[in-house]
Amino acid sequence: MEFKIQQKPTNKHEVYITDDEKKLSQVADLNKDELGFISTSFAADQTVVTINKYGRFVFVCMLKSKKTEAQTFEACRKMGAELCALSNKYKIAEINITNLTATPNAALLAAEGMALANYQFLKYRGEAKKLTNSLTGISFSKTSATVKDVAQLATTVDAIYKARTLVNEPLSYLSAEQLALEIAAIGKEGGFKVTTFNKARIVKEKMGGLLSVNRGSIQPPTFSIMEYVPKKALNKKPIVLVGKGVVYDTGGLSLKPTLNSMDRMKSDMSGAALVTGAMYAIAKMQLPLHVIALVPATDNRPGEEAYVPGDVITMMSGKTVEVLNTDAEGRMILGDALQWAKRYQPELVMDFATLTGAAAAAVGEHGIVCMGTAGEDTKKAFRDSGYRQYERLVEFPLWDEYGDQIKSDIADIKNVGGATGGAMTAGKFLEHFTDYPWMHFDIAGVSFATSKKGYYPIGGTAYGMRMVLDFLMHYSKA
Ligand code: BES
Ligand code: MN
Ligand code: ZN
């Protein structure tokens, strides 16, 4: 599925964004009656007003400033979602956006909201043709967006679409091996290198965490390594992204209760989808950064050979783990990936994982729980990117006492930390496998939507992608 975002106006339908009604008199498109109608509609707090000129549509939007700039930006994106719904309702294919406001990026932000809201996953629908949105593209009036901004937005949207589709694919299609194939294909298209480890190689590398989770499965695990090397990198040591690639999480022998709790578990590879999409965008935009991404992938099932509560597993690092809950599988596979990252002597490592229900319970669908050992400046840069993109972060602590909760009587550590502090005890587990500046992003609450929310459709959201790309773009400027 593709969405065209270009700078040249190509079409007859128009969007005007204004922050002051008076500015609308500059718009040749609108007559006195229409201006009066718009005025009354704005007075009644409508944000988008539709003028139907017998087959040619003009949408006039009022952008009110909010308390913070970030909130005004987000209002623009949400306006875009509204414009997307209207465009499809009126069977519009392409539309042009003009920014009349004092917010320089208003048209871009509205376009972002429109494009992200227009995503569909119709692969398994018999009536796909009929259901397909009419909207296929957006263009901008001359001064409303720069060529560079437009290209960047188009790539970001493309990356998000790709990540959402990976999340939406069910296990019946997306096995660990298929995920590795998809990653390789995206690498080819985006222009970065992909190396795939099969089971034999994973055994050879002694990735005990990944292998133990895979034991109950009928399908082999994979480990994908993506690498983008620019012509001239600003970082001497690479940045490493790690994504949890559990293509389905039944809980294993510590089976999840059947009532609803497994319904969305095809999305347990959202971290993998996010880092793959991010690599695509990084390579397409040719960011001057050397970036590597790692995806350990398997499903988690209670097959005959499955690892059991009480097992002691030796991880790739050599550390032993007492498994007390096979449903705490994400940290088992991530432990090996974080260990693997050490060989690059990375400047910074970020992992993205649908790791704990506790993180989802704490912040719900409105932000990402993060924690880590990166410096304060790095943490602030992440926080700022989160606000700018409205994919917000809440930092949780990595206090020693949470580490005490995962001490084991029989092994070095155990994979569960008791009834409280679940997001942090998971973080402490991961910390054992790091020796570099590191940030962990628990996206369990935000990666999958069960109802449409603004520009996030039902299903995979790729929430966090814009945050991390924003972070990397600023990183490459700093
Ligand atoms: N994939 C789940 C976490 C999850 C829960 C993601 C809900 C999205 C929505 C993870 O593997 C898991 O099962 N975590 C357990 C850990 C526990 C057994 C220590 C959890 O959070 O309950
Ligand atoms: Mn689990
Ligand atoms: Zn899981």
Ligand closest to Cα of 358 equals 1
pLDDT in tens, 86-139: 999 999 999 999 999 999 999 999 999 999 999 999 999 999 999 999 999 999
350, 314: one domain:
yes
pTM of the model: 0.97
**Domain membership of residue 426 as a residue range:** 155-475
The atom of ligand 1 lying closest to the CA of 256 is 13
- Average model confidence (pLDDT) across the chain: 96
Domain-embedded: residue 193: yes
Residue 331 among the catalytic residues: yes
149: in domain = no
CB of 149 closer than 6 angstroms to any ligand 1 atom? no
> What is the best residue among 261, 329, 356 to mutate for testing ligand 1's pocket, by most ligand atoms within 8 Å of CB?
356
Please indicate, yes or no, whether residues 354 and 378 belong to a single structural domain of this protein: yes
CATH of the domain at 136: 3.40.220.10
The enclosing domain of 289 has a CATH number of 3.40.630.10
Q: Please report which confidence band the pLDDT of residue 259 belongs to, taking 50, 70 and 90 as the band edges.
A: confident
Ligand 1 in contact with 261 (CB < 6 A)?
no
Shared-domain flag, residues 124 and 173: no
Tens-digit pLDDT profile for residues 446-455: 999 999 999 9
Catalytic residue among 4, 12, 53, 256: 256
- The active-site residue out of 199, 264, 284, 331 is 331
The DSSP string of 323-381 is -S-TT--HHHHHHHHHHHHGGG--SEEEEEE---HHHHHHHTTS-EEEEESS-HHHHHH
Examine the domain organization and report whether 126 and 161 are in the same domain.
no
Please state, in angstroms and rounded to a whole number, the distance separating the CA atoms of residues 107 and 191: 29
pLDDT attached to residue 11:
67
Among 298, 294, 289, 249, CA closest to 276: 294
Ligand nearest the Cα of residue 444 is: 1
- Reported residue count of the chain is 478
Q: Residue 307: inside a domain, yes or no?
A: yes
d(CA 372, CA 441): 9
In ligand 1, the atom with minimum distance to the C-alpha of 357 is 21
| Cβ pair 173, 195 in contact under 8 A | no
Closest ligand to C-alpha of residue 359 is 1
Residues 329 and 470 in one domain: yes
How many domains in the chain? 2
469 falls within a domain: yes
User: Are residues 132 and 162 located together in one domain of the fold?
Assistant: no
Residue 245 and residue 123 in one domain: no
Cα(327) to centroid of ligand 3, in Å?
Answer: 7
pLDDT over 90 (residue 6): no
- Tell whether the model's pLDDT for residue 396 goes beyond 80: yes
Residue 9 has pLDDT above 80, yes or no: no
Q: Which of 143, 176, 210 is the last residue of a domain?
A: 143
Q: 27-81, pLDDT tens digit by residue?
A: 888 999 999 999 999 999 999 999 999 889 999 999 999 999 999 999 999 999 9
Question: Any idea what the Cα angle at residue 406 is, between residues 404 and 407, rounded to 5°?
Answer: 70
The answer to whether the CB of 391 is under 6 A from ligand 1 is no
- Same structural domain for residues 210 and 115? no
Closest-CA residue to 212 (of 355, 129, 329): 329
The minimum-distance atom of ligand 1 relative to the CA of 251 is 13
Domain boundary among 143, 174, 203: 143
Residue nearest to atom 8 of ligand 1 (CA): 444
Residues 165 and 117 in one domain: no
Q: Say if ligand 1 is within 6 A of residue 353 CB.
A: no
The whole-number pLDDT of residue 2 equals 75
Nearest-CA residue for atom 3 of ligand 1: 356
Identify the pLDDT of residue 189: 98
Same domain, 109 and 187: no
Name the more confident of 355 and 258.
355
- What is the C-alpha to C-alpha distance for residues 252 and 130, in angstroms, rounded to an integer? 40
Ligand whose nearest atom lies closest to the CA of 420: 1
Check whether residue 92 and residue 226 sit in a common domain: no
* CA 417 to ligand 1: nearest atom: 19
- Does residue 68 sit within a domain? yes
For residue 408, the CA-to-ligand 2 centroid distance in Å is 20
| 77 flagged as catalytic | no
Considering the domain architecture, whether residues 366 and 248 belong to the same structural domain is answered as yes
Token representation of residue 37: 């109608």
CA–CA dist 2, 460 (Å, integer) = 17
Residue at a domain's end among 143, 169, 185: 143
pLDDT at site 476:
78
Percent share of the chain, pLDDT over 90: 94
What tokens appear for 344 in the block? Answer: 């690059």
327 lines ligand 1 (CB under 6 A): yes
Per the domain annotation, does 150 fall within a domain?
no
- Is residue 420 situated within a structural domain? yes
